[in-house]
Amino acid sequence: MNKYLMILSLSGFIYFFSGCDLSKKPAIGFEDEIYIVADSIDYEKLSGSLQKAFEKQINTPLPEKLFSIKKISPFQIKSIENKKNIVVVGTLNSGSETSKIIDELIDENTNRRFLSDKDYIHYIYDYWAKDQLVAVISAKDFVDLDFKIEKNKDSLLVTFQRQSDNRLKESLYNPKYEVKKIQSKLLLDYGWIIYAHKDYKLEKSDKKEKFVSFKSFADKEKEKSLFVFWIDSATHMYLNPDSVKSIRNNVAAKYLSNSTDSSHIVLIDSLVNTTEINFNGRYALYTQGLWKNTKDNSVGPFVNYTLYDEVKKRIYMLDGSVNAPKYYKRNLIQQVDVMLQSFRTVFELSDERIDELIE
């Protein structure tokens, strides 16, 4: 499973090494590219495990990879030192070119940990460039190395996806694109906020119906939509996959479908996946899959967070979808997902942030 389908506890797996330097330039390149630095013979032996770890497919409805891996010779490492996502993989102390690079990236303590902990992966942030993630995957031999990649494929993918989300947040949650007037209204009227981007129009805001929706009109051929729906006087009983699908279908039928032409937006049950995650420190269900318009059979991806607010005794459903038939949608659905992650209730905001919004 990937970040959209799961979240793992990474304690014991991640070692933070910060080479952060304000003078470093931001990492460049495509978010969905991961450069694998390895000797050719080593890569041939490990390529299957690496592809399973990083080239996870999602349906949008066409299958698209979350990441595409690109093999790089250790002699070419200088050419990718400014890229966003890098993995250096090879055995320890073998004398190979990749092994020499690994020796430069780690210290003696890390070397010993690789030998003693078969699950350990060394993550380095901002090593050559700002907002860059470098993963060093090593072991004493190829058997252990291949097993490590296979066993930790989920945590590897989650870690790179999380870093990609963080980079995207920096560009999306930009003060110059922020519409504070809308955020202030949401906070005062409903007790929660979600980042209001200038490219998104507030389509519907109904206190009685407990429904708020946004739609991006920046590109008519790449439609992105968000909605927040909530249920008051609720219990944890709503937090199950069947309830999520039922509520989502009911909301879509009422607010997203077109009554004039009898079209309905429904979920394709066989292509919907739900998993438990941690949403900003709060237990939640994350659901990903495809929606379908019953009239014209158009199909697109959606992502959905459903969570329970103990203070308000309220179920929140945060949902985003994409309709872009002629385009790849992997990056579009990630943008929608990152927008949803900005959701906070008033109890999760600092006094300073509240004062800033309602001044």
Instruction: State the pLDDT at residue 262.
Output: 56
Return the amino acid letter for 40: S
Per-chain mean pLDDT for the chain: 90
| Percent residues over pLDDT 70 in the chain | 92
Q: What is the pLDDT of residue 1?
A: 43
How far is 153 from 159, CA to CA, in rounded Å? 10
Identify the pLDDT of residue 146.
95
Per-residue confidence at 359, pLDDT binned at 50, 70, 90? confident
**Residue 220: per-residue pLDDT:** 85
259 burial type by CB count under 10 A (0-12 exposed, 13-18 middle, 19+ buried): exposed
Pick the CATH number of 16-172 from 3.40.50, 3.30.379, 1.10.10, 2.30.29: 3.30.379
d(CA 68, CA 292): 27
Is pLDDT at 109 greater than 80 in this prediction? yes
CB-count exposure of residue 329 (10 Å: 0-12, 13-18, 19+) = buried
Q: Is 308 exposed, middle or buried, given 0-12, 13-18 or 19+ CB atoms closer than 10 A?
A: buried
Exposure string over 148-164, b if 16+ CB within 10 A, otherwise e: bbeebbbbbbbbbbebb
Q: What is the pTM of this model?
A: 0.87
pLDDT tens digit string along 25-60?
999 999 999 999 999 999 999 999 999 999 999 989
| Token code pair at residue 117 | 């902990």
**Residue 57 to residue 333: CA distance in whole angstroms:** 13
Do residues 151 and 47 make contact, with C-beta atoms less than 8 angstroms apart? no
Tell me, what's the pLDDT at 352? Answer: 94
Contact of 333 with 320, CB cutoff 8 Å: yes
Peptide bond preceding 61: is omega within 30 degrees of 0, i.e. cis?
Answer: yes
Confidence of residue 6 (pLDDT cuts 50, 70, 90): very low
* Residue-level pLDDT at 281: 92
Residue 104 pLDDT greater than 90, yes or no:
yes
* Torsion, CA 4, CA 8, CA 11, CA 12, rounded to 10: -110
Give the pLDDT mean for 230-250.
Answer: 95
DSSP secondary structure, 64-83, as one string: EES-EEEEE-GGGGGGGTTB
Rounded (10°) angle between helices 351-358 and 180-190: 110
Say how far apart CA 120 and CA 142 lie, in whole Å.
15
Report whether pLDDT(216) > 80: yes
Predicted pLDDT of residue 264: 78
CATH of domain 176-358: 3.40.1000.10
Please report the pLDDT score of residue 15 as a whole number: 35
Three-class DSSP category at 262: coil
Average pLDDT over residues 240-265: 84
3-state secondary structure of 103: helix
Check whether 8 has a pLDDT greater than 70.
no
Q: What is the reported pLDDT for 93?
A: 86
* Greater model confidence, 5 or 60: 60
pLDDT for residue 9: 35
- What is the rounded average pLDDT of the residues 168-176? 90
Average pLDDT of the residues in 213-234: 93
pLDDT of residue 260: 57
* Of the candidate ranges 11-25, 31-45, 208-222, 337-351, the one whose mean pLDDT is the lowest: 11-25
Domain boundaries, given as residue ranges, for the chain:
16-172, 176-358
pLDDT band at 358 (very low <50, low <70, confident <90, very high): confident
Read off the pLDDT of each residue in 226-237 and give the average, rounded to a whole number.
96
